[in-house]
Amino acid sequence: MSDTSTIEVEVMRIAIIGAGNVGSALSTAAVRAGHTVSISATSAEKASQVAAATGANAAADNAAAVADAELVVFAVPGNAVVDIARDLAPALAGKIVVDASNPLNDTYTDLDIEETAAVQSLQRTLPGVPVVKAFNTIFAGRLGTPVEGDLRLTGFYAGDDTEAKNAVAGLLTSLGFRPVDVGGLRMARALEEMAFLNISLNAGNGWAWQTGWALLGPTS
């Protein structure tokens, strides 16, 4: 588990691929935290609308969004991640890629995963680029409200590159979450299942899509 007292929080240049609920909410939270954000969408018009509402910079396309970014967040449907990454691969060299997606099947009744964790397919598409799974367990509606009562929600993350994970932990901290490192990308399967459980509970029970995860109890 990360010790938030030792996590270095830096202002970053962030690209968000996707301007739906998650991309829009993450853009708002990141801009509020002082980061510089560029956002792209399926259309330049959509990117402009979300950028105007969140304080981000609108990008004409995905390549333009990532051009000057240090960290790139994929906030798109799970079945679109690999194709987008393949198209952007040359432009992602030297950057940190964060997969915030969940690999739901077409009927939203299960996960559609070819490997142990869907994010491993993304990593295989981007050899040499550090990929981190993060934000997928956090609903869009909680990205700007990371506290419930006096309890900070947990921002779980997984990856195989220590420096990349440290940067993501800093981003989570800057947004108000308690970052918890769950291990390598293999452990992202647990995060994808946690997200699916929360999605299923809210969809099946008519909940308000405001539930979140918090890891409780002493760690030493």
Judged by DSSP in three states, 178 sits in strand
pLDDT at res. 3: 53
pLDDT at 114: 74
* Average pLDDT over all residues of the chain: 95
Give mean pLDDT, residues 190-202: 96
pLDDT band at 130 (very low <50, low <70, confident <90, very high): very high
pLDDT given for residue 9 in this prediction:
87
**Range 144-150 contact pairs with CB under 8 angstroms and sequence separation of 24 or more:** 144/25, 144/28, 144/29, 144/32, 146/175, 146/176, 146/177, 147/176, 148/212, 148/214
Q: Which long-range contacts (CB under 8 A, 24 or more apart) does 47-50 make?
A: 47/19, 49/19, 50/19, 50/23, 50/24
pLDDT at 177 over 90: yes
Place of tokens 């259309």: 43
**Does 124 have pLDDT greater than 80?**
yes
| pLDDT tens readout for residues 71-123 | 999 999 999 999 999 999 999 999 999 999 998 888 888 888 877 788 999 99
Q: 4-50 pLDDT, tens per residue?
A: 556 888 999 999 999 999 999 999 999 999 999 999 999 999 999 99
The per-residue pLDDT for range 51-69, each reduced to its tens digit, is: 999 999 999 999 999 999 9
Residue 2 has pLDDT above 70, yes or no: no
Amino acid at 68: D
Q: Is the per-residue pLDDT at 147 higher than 90?
A: yes
Residue 112: its pLDDT value, please? 85
Residue 150 has pLDDT above 70, yes or no: yes
Provide CB contacts within 8 A for 168, sequence distance 6+.
71, 96, 98, 132, 134, 157, 159, 179
